[in-house]
Amino acid sequence: MRASDIRQSFLQYFRQHDHAIRPSSSLVPGDDPTLLFTNAGMVQFKKVFLGLEETDYGRRAVTAQKCVRAGGKHNDLEQVGHTARHHTFFEMLGNFSFGDYFKRDAIRFAWEWVTGPREAGNLGIPAEHLRVSVYREDDEARALWREVAGLPDSRIYGLGEKDNFWQMADTGPCGPCSEIYVDLAHLARDWEFPAGAAGEWTEPDRREFSLEAFVEGSEAGRFLEIWNLVFMQFDRQPDGTLVPLPKPSVDTGAGLERIAAVMQGVTNNFHTDVFSPLIASIEEVVGLPYQGRPGGTAGKRSRAGSHDPASFRVIADHARAVAFLLADGVFPSNEGRGYVLRRILRRAVRHAWLLGRREPTLVRVVGTVIDTMAGVYPELRQRAAHIIETTRAEEERFLATIDGGMKRFDEIAPLHTTQGSTAVRGTISGDDAFRLYDTFGFPIDLTELMARERGYTVDIAGFEAALGRQREQSQEERKARKLTLGVDALADLTAWERKDGADLPATAFVGYDTVEIETQVTAVRHLDGGRVAVLLRETPFYAESGGQVSDGGEIVGDGWRVDVDDVRKVDGRPAAIGRLT
């Protein structure tokens, strides 16, 4: 069953049960400054769950939500490529009840779609290969799984708060959750028990497992969670008290890539039809075969060609994140979301470099992402030129310095010949890490990752100190540059050119939500040396305040461009200043 069929099946099933199909929200949360990226299906409904908004489509919804986990609390970046199921970008299927149905129907819907006949639009997974977990104090959910699904108590496992109790924050809506697990030992053609594994969970023909064996098998990957049903029924108070909500709700999340692996009989998400065209594209570009499939050299370096299959997986995963983040308005930079995107880009470039590439590679794979996913996410096609051009430019920029950076890294962290040692061989100084960052464009977490691969640590405090010194120097240089402009040179609003002499509207600052925006110029002031100051209706440019250096960037119009190198407050409005070309 193809991933596209699974997505469509899920949406149509819930549409038939009176759920409104809602589009995926942007990867940039529209009004949630607590999140770098949308990382779950419920994010776009947060205000609805909190009772702050009403919907115009009823109290049931279903989505296929694009998500990114590559920064902040949920950060899977370092594991990507080295495990079977970590991704920066993924799709989360979810159905939601806003004070409508609760546990009984949530369990009924989930069980029917997972086990119902495939010809009726369901997954058709045999019930004997399924198990569920519940919060150990949630007797109601346990009883419903017995009644609705017909599961025996021996296949319903009570787990603790860490695993089976969800909360939005330290206070507020929360509740127990219930997870559905599949047994990969019976559903994946390539399943193999780990070498040396022993115990009850390793018995392939056993039908019932103790709680301890289930937990061990889950940690080892035999029992794989594919769907989490969250029952929001309490409001946690500051003192920890749980007060029942007047309208309990449901929030569920199922990873599309995981379900695709199950339905296609493989243990590794990268071996599904989600990633196969991307890996094929990488093989074509680098001229090397991917040898990470069963029977190949999964997770190990190939003797023939000495290349690591993990590099193929990193590039394939990161191409998806890059394409979707660029499509949703994130632009590579050295701050916030843009910095996370740049880290992802440069990690992919490094892995292409490890495969022998010295010219843009990721851009070709990003093109394949657009070709294969624009039918579902049209924003990829609409912004294809921007996505391709930006990816290529970022690759070329890093490729111009990566050779020198890798040579420098080899000097400060030489590769020792001792094999199998976990001892720390040394520490990369903060100044050396900063030079890799400042001169060669190596994000600090990339330097940390490379250091760990060779048994070194990095002096992060020293790096931060060097970075702070650079920022102070930059701040002083900007202050010196401003002195030539004059303290009050921009304050006279009558000297600004405005369309039809109209009054100046307020400027909305949107820099916490996006670094790229389409907007209108409201006023222009021409300065000496071909420079201009520009006021915008909405601006992502931050004006220096509280010791934080102002932003840089560009403003592009029809036949003109301003390279912004300074931002100043004019009558409370951020004015972007730079050379007009």
pLDDT, tens digit (0-9, with 9 covering 90-100), for 308-363: 899 999 999 999 999 999 999 999 988 888 889 999 999 999 999 999 999 999 99
Residue 188's SS3 state is coil
Map out the domains of the chain with their CATH numbers: 3-263 (3.30.930.10), 275-412 (no CATH), 493-580 (2.40.30.130)
Structure tokens at 417: 């010949």
Q: What would the pLDDT profile of 31-41 be if each residue is shown by its tens digit?
A: 777 788 999 99
For residues 448 and 465, what is the distance between their CA atoms, to the nearest angstrom?
A: 16
Q: How far is CA 351 from CA 250, 299, 312, 442, in A?
A: 41, 14, 8, 13
Residue 216 clears pLDDT 80, i.e. is over it:
yes
Residue 480 clears pLDDT 70, i.e. is over it:
no
Residue 75 clears pLDDT 70, i.e. is over it:
no
Tell how many helices (H) and how many strands (E) occur in the chain. 17, 20
Q: What is the average pLDDT across 158-167?
A: 92
Structure tokens at 381: 């096609």
The pLDDT value given to residue 516: 79
Residue 444's SS3 state is helix
Residue 499 clears pLDDT 80, i.e. is over it:
no
Average pLDDT of every residue of the chain: 88
For residues 243 and 233, what is the distance between their CA atoms, to the nearest angstrom?
A: 8
| Phi–psi pair at 526, nearest 5 degrees | -80, 135
CA 78 to chain centre: 12
Band (pLDDT 50/70/90 cuts) for residue 275 is very high
Which element (helix H / strand E) includes 522?
Answer: strand 521-526
Residue 142's SS3 state is helix
| Phi–psi pair at 501, nearest 5 degrees | 65, 20
- What residues does 229 pair with on adjacent strands? 178, 252
Q: What would the pLDDT profile of 422-474 be if each residue is shown by its tens digit?
A: 555 789 999 999 999 988 888 888 898 888 888 899 999 999 999 888 878 77
Band (pLDDT 50/70/90 cuts) for residue 479 is low
Ranges 338-347, 438-447, 495-504, 511-520, most confident = 338-347
Residue 304 clears pLDDT 60, i.e. is over it:
no
Q: What would the pLDDT profile of 392-427 be if each residue is shown by its tens digit?
A: 999 998 898 888 888 999 998 887 644 444 555 789
Residue 217's SS3 state is helix
Residue 253 clears pLDDT 80, i.e. is over it:
yes
For the ranges 289-298, 447-456, 559-568, the lowest mean pLDDT is seen at 289-298
For every residue of 534-552, DSSP letters joined together read EEESEE-PPPPBTTBPPP-
Q: What is the average pLDDT across 61-82?
A: 82
Q: What is the average pLDDT across 207-227?
A: 96
Q: What angle do CA 27, 33, 37 make, to 5 degrees?
A: 20
Q: Is 58 left (phi over 0), alpha (psi -120 to 50) or beta?
A: left
For residues 151 and 133, what is the distance between their CA atoms, to the nearest angstrom?
A: 11
